[in-house]
Structure 1
Amino acid sequence: MAPHTVLVSERPMPEDIRAEHRWPEVRGTRLHLAEYGGTGTPLLMLHGFPQHWYAWHKVAALLPDGYRLICPDLRGFGWSEPTPRGYDMDALAEDALALLDALGLERVGLVGHNWGAHLGFRLCLRAPERFTGYLALNMSHPWPRHRAVLPNLWRMWYTAFVEYPVLGRAVLRHWPGFTRFLLRHQAADPAVWTDTDLAEYAAATSVSAPAAQSLFWQYVLHDIPALVRGTWRRHRLTVPTLLLGGERDVVVPPSLLAGSEPYADELTVRLVPGAGHFLPQERPEAVAEGIGELFAESR
């Protein structure tokens, strides 16, 4: 096994006695999976940057019995095996669908935050038959209005330190203060993070630096050009979707959440008052309520 793989798999995990851990083989890669609840309505939970499966632990604690939360670490993140490539959205979507196949799940509910929410939209457009509903958190839909995007480009300043291959990997691997700053800066109330949280995600980001940098770089290479060309305007969202945004989100502000009406059958946008960019951490009760609202009929 490659040295970097050993480092990922051997780093101690955050403790959560409710979670059970598995390492299924998916498309030639060993992915780590944390599960809450062995039976009930299955929900695929996709984390964002700079987090991993533990991003969902507060939400899991608030949900009643009757849900099975499937919380994978994306390829190269957390305790999933890193690979030289495979970090573009289409490849990550293939991972997610192959994981569902490996688990024997034909249809599931879908929940995604940040990059996981971006991936979630791609999954719903690509394989809508696999998802009963979609709860998207802190991410714009694939059809943001250009007049809203342009004035908000400055909010993505931090990506210049992440996306470039040499600089990005060096910053993420050797500058843990950068990760800590992003977590504090992007939450409406920085005190929502404990010192333990900050230390965990800073350490995790140091290990997953190649994957994180590649994820951002693939977005530059593929997703931004597709957005400019209006590629996704030829696609329609048919999965019932609830999009929750933070009223004080400094990364994806409320103005970026409008404009989906011509492209979606059933997409509801709702703002969470006083919240920033990390709803699962800042307002887990709002996320839990959204899950109950969207997936109650399938319970």
Structure 2
Amino acid sequence: MSTEPPVIPGVRRSFVDANGVRFHVTEAGPADGRPVLALHGWPQHHYLWRDLLTEPPAGLRIIAPDLPGYGWSGPAPHRWAKDDVATDVLALMDTLDLDRVLLVGHDWGAFIGYRMVLRCPERFDGYVCANMAHPWVRPETMAPHLWRFWYQVPVATAGAWLLRNTKALNRLFRGASDLSPAEARVFVDRFRDPVCARASRDTYRTFLTRELPAATRQSPPPRVTVPIRAVFGYRDRALHPDMVSAETAKADDYTVEFVDATHFVVDERPEIIRAKLVELAEQTAAA
């Protein structure tokens, strides 16, 4: 197992302390460019954004941190409640002097992105969201698809041991993505680190025991004014297209594009993510 981050040509790396987390942060593009904050999901890290980091769109500064406990960031000082992670990332933005950003997120990174957009809309010019249910999904819409979350139970219970042995993660990537074995290995091997394995366990344990039950009792979140461009790989085995429907999204400016990809749409269709980001940057240039 390599203990060094994967090589991405031209990327600047740093460690930034914010809210009790030692973030590993990767950046590319002009230092004075328009900032784009890119948040990865599970079971990945900053390398998810290798396409944008290798060749940043003109005028954009791509900033892709490893979330607490993942990749090369230090452990989370909490049990990975998503609102706590959102607070960590907002603190990172403060430390980096990022008043406003364009946001792009995938999987849990996209979930956290929604939490931040709902909490602090004034800090986000626009949001590209990849393969994550929007926060206005009603329980009656979610209920028929809860069986899709079966994989979360072993991660939440035996997760730390299971992931450090990596066989389960290798099977997940083989069965649920179009990634090559070499691409998958960049992500899988990192979970041999007990910090990463524990972060995974806590991510799902907190979701299943606290956040999912709470979501069935709470009222839907308020309407969002931040422009949202959702991208959804319709071969996703964990999420259903109904969970990203424009008809149920309480947002002033929300669109969704369904594409031929698995849950790992950022890896498999990076050109679509790039196009959505560039388009949104142009549309919000005067924001």
Q: Which runs of 5+ in 1 are unaligned?
A: 1-6
CA distance in 1, matches of 2:4, 2:221: 45
Can you list the C-alpha shifts for 1:66-94, whole angstroms capped at 9, x where unaligned?
Answer: 11011000011111011452511111111
1:229-268 aligned within 5 A: 229-231=217-219, 233-258=220-245, 261=248, 263-268=250-255
Q: Distance in 1 between matches of 2:236 and 2:268?
A: 11
Higher mean C-alpha displacement, 259-268 vs 37-46: 259-268
CA distance in 1, matches of 2:244, 2:280: 19
Q: Counterparts of 2:92 and 2:109 in 1: how far apart (Å)? A: 15
- 1:285 is aligned to 271
1:255–1:297 distance in 2 versus 1, CA, 3 Å = closer
Displacement of 1:206: 2.5
**Equivalent pair of 2:136/2:249 in contact (CA under 8 Å):** no
* In 2: Cα distance, 1:261 partner to 1:84 partner: 35
The one-letter code matched in structure 2 to 1:160 is V
Percent of aligned positions that are identical: 37
Unaligned runs of 5+ in 2: none
Tell me, in whole angstroms, the C-alpha distance in 2 between the residues paired with 1:172 and 1:133: 34
Alpha-carbon distance between aligned partners in 2 of 1:103 and 1:84, rounded to the nearest angstrom? 20
The C-alpha deviation readout for 1:138-172, integer Å capped at 9, x for no partner, is 001011133332221111111111012xx111111
Measure the CA separation in 1 of the matches of 2:115 and 2:93: 15
**Helix, strand or coil at the partner of 2:64:** strand
1:205 aligned residue: 191
Q: Deviations over 1:167-188 (max 9, x none)?
A: 11111112x121112122222x
Alignment partner of 1:11 is 2:3: yes
* Structure with the larger helix share: 1
Count of residue correspondences = 282
Distance 2:221 2:9 in 1: 45
Tell whether 2:160 aligns with 1:169: yes
User: Is the Cα–Cα contact under 8 Å of residues 133 and 239 in structure 1 kept in the other structure?
Assistant: yes
The equivalent residue for 2:45 is: 52
In structure 2, relative to structure 1, the CA distance for the partners of 1:143 and 1:297 (3 Å cut) is closer
Give the 3-state SS of the residue equivalent to 1:121 in structure 2.
helix
Three-state SS of the structure 1 residue aligned to 2:230 is strand
Q: Distance in 2 between matches of 1:168 and 1:32?
A: 23
Q: 1:262 to 1:284 in 2, by over 3 A?
A: closer
Alpha-carbon contact 1:62-1:285 (below 8 Å) kept: no
Q: Specify whether residues 107 and 221 from structure 1 end up closer, same or farther in structure 2 by C-alpha distance, changes over 3 A only.
A: same
1:186 aligns with 2:172: no
Q: Which runs of 4+ in 1 moved over 6 A?
A: none
Q: 1:32 aligns with which of 2, 19, 24?
A: 24
Give 1:283 deviation, angstroms.
Answer: 0.2
The answer (yes or no) to whether the contact 1:117–1:136 under 8 Å persists in 2 is yes
Query: What's the secondary structure of 1:32's corresponding residue?
Result: strand
1:259 is displaced (CA, Å) by 5.8
SS in 1 for 2:61: strand
> What's the TM-score once normalised by structure 2's chain length?
0.92
Report the TM-score when normalising by structure 1.
0.89
Residue 79 of structure 1, aligned match among 55, 60, 72: 72
Equivalent position SS for 1:13: coil
Separation (CA, whole Å) in 2 of partners of 1:90 and 1:243 = 21
Alpha-carbon distance between aligned partners in 1 of 2:223 and 2:49, rounded to the nearest angstrom: 29
* Distance (whole Å) between structure 2 residues aligned to residue 42 and residue 155 of structure 1: 35
User: How far, CA to CA, are the matches of 2:74 and 2:249 in structure 1?
Assistant: 39
Question: Do 1:125 and 1:235's aligned partners in 2 also have CA atoms closer than 8 Å?
Answer: yes
Match of 1:118? 111
In 2 relative to 1, CA 60–260 (structure 1 residues): closer, same or farther, beyond 3 Å? farther
SS of aligned partner of 2:223: coil
Conservation of the 8 A alpha-carbon contact between 1:86 and 1:92: no
SS in 2 for 1:162: helix
Q: Secondary structure at the match of 1:263?
A: coil
CA contact (8 A) 2:244 2:256 kept: yes
